[in-house]
């Protein structure tokens, strides 16, 4: 028996990186998974992996910034599986840019995906969890929300701070219905998102710096985040609510 056997989970941004790893981890632990992301080819591939692990998968091509697409994804999930036990709000973007150079479009893209998307997905799923008096919602925040100065990431830091606040707010509002809401705050994790638009030299320097900044002297991998999310999505964590839990190898600048 897996740790979330028989459960149904929606994972946003499940096409690659951390989201894809969450989907695989959930499937290994016995859950059926709805893969919600923008790129058809990516989610179809992850859906195949979920099926090869013996679980059902629904690849739902959608955009978390569009309410009607969220509603139809949730509807399809209910038609296919009859219930939704777990929601992981993982979809996110960064658009790195200096504070003075960042455009209004950069700001809007980040706020819309990282904050509005999370708000709308939670709003769409919560009524069904309330009906069944059971649910686990895990939001993917970031170390960027902890009040550190991260040059190039002003909008992202602001968005993830909003994610933390929404996590606490919804944990309070939904806890009474048997729904646990928590967030994870990853440090630097090796994915396509981390190193987009950078030269090879910049990437190599960043990798070294990142390693040096952790207590455990290694880089984070998607599975490091997925295993914490699995715990928060399972009944092992049923007395945890409204928490933002770091998974960053013990960043030395967090002390
Ligand atoms: N990688 C890191 O170092 C790191 C660190 C801290 C937090 N995070 C957070 O982890 C989450 C996942 O990051 P990742 O590194 O795996 O990113 P990634 O870019 O590799 O994957 C992001 C996924 O989200 C999907 N997505 C993006 N916009 C979407 C939208 N509008 N609608 C639906 N799906 C959308 C993409 O299709 C993709 O599947 C993000 O919320 C990110 O902010 C990442």
Q: Is residue 186 lining ligand 1, measured as CB closer than 6 Å? A: yes
Q: Please give the pLDDT value at position 155.
A: 96
Q: Is residue 46 lining ligand 1, measured as CB closer than 6 Å? A: no
The pTM for the full model equals 0.97
The pLDDT of residue 193 is above 90? no
Residue nearest to atom 24 of ligand 1 (CA): 13
Q: Please give the pLDDT value at position 255.
A: 63
- Domain 8-249 is of which CATH architecture? 3-Layer(aba) Sandwich (3.40)
Give the model confidence (pLDDT) of 128-184 as tens digits. Answer: 999 999 999 999 999 999 877 888 999 999 999 999 999 999 999 999 999 999 999
Backbone dihedral angles phi then psi of residue 179, each to the nearest 5 degrees: -110, 125
Q: Where are the domains of the chain?
A: 8-249
Q: Is residue 224 lining ligand 1, measured as CB closer than 6 Å? A: no
Q: Please give the pLDDT value at position 40.
A: 97
DSSP secondary structure string for all residues of 152-211: T-HHHHHHHHHHHHHHHHHHHHHGGGTEEEEEEEE--B-STTTTTT--HHHHHHHHHHHH
Give the model confidence (pLDDT) of 21-37 as tens digits. Answer: 999 999 999 999 999 99
Q: Please give the pLDDT value at position 148.
A: 78
Give the model confidence (pLDDT) of 55-113 as tens digits. Answer: 999 999 999 999 999 999 999 999 999 999 999 999 999 999 999 999 999 999 999 99
């Amino acid at each position: 028996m897996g740790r979330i056997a028989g459960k149904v989970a929606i994972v946003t941004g499940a096409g690659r990186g951390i989201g894809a790893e969450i989907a695989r981890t959930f499937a290994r632990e016995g859950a059926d998974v709805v893969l919600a992301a923008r790129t058809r080819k990516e989610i179809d591939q992850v859906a195949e992996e979920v099926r090869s692990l013996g679980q059902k998968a629904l690849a739902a091509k959608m955009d978390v910034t569009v309410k009607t697409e969220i509603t139809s994804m949730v509807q399809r999930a209910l038609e296919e599986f009859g219930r939704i036990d777990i929601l992981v709000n993982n979809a996110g973007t960064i658009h790195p840019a200096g504070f003075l150079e960042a455009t209004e479009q950069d700001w809007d893209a980040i706020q819309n995906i990282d904050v509005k998307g999370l708000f709308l997905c939670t709003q769409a799923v919560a009524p069904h969890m309330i009906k069944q008096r059971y649910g686990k919602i895990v939001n993917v925040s970031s170390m960027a929300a902890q009040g550190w100065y991260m040059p190039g990431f002003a909008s992202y830091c602001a968005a993830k701070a909003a994610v933390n606040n929404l996590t606490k707010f919804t944990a309070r509002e939904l806890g009474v219905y048997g729904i646990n809401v928590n967030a994870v705050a990853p440090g630097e994790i090796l994915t396509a998102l981390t190193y987009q638009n950078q030269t090879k030299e910049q990437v190599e320097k960043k990798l070294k710096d990142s390693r040096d900044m952790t207590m455990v002297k290694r880089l984070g991998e998607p599975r490091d985040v997925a295993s914490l999310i699995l715990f928060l999505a399972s009944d092992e964590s049923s007395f945890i609510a409204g928490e933002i839990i770091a998974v960053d190898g013990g960043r030395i600048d967090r002390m």
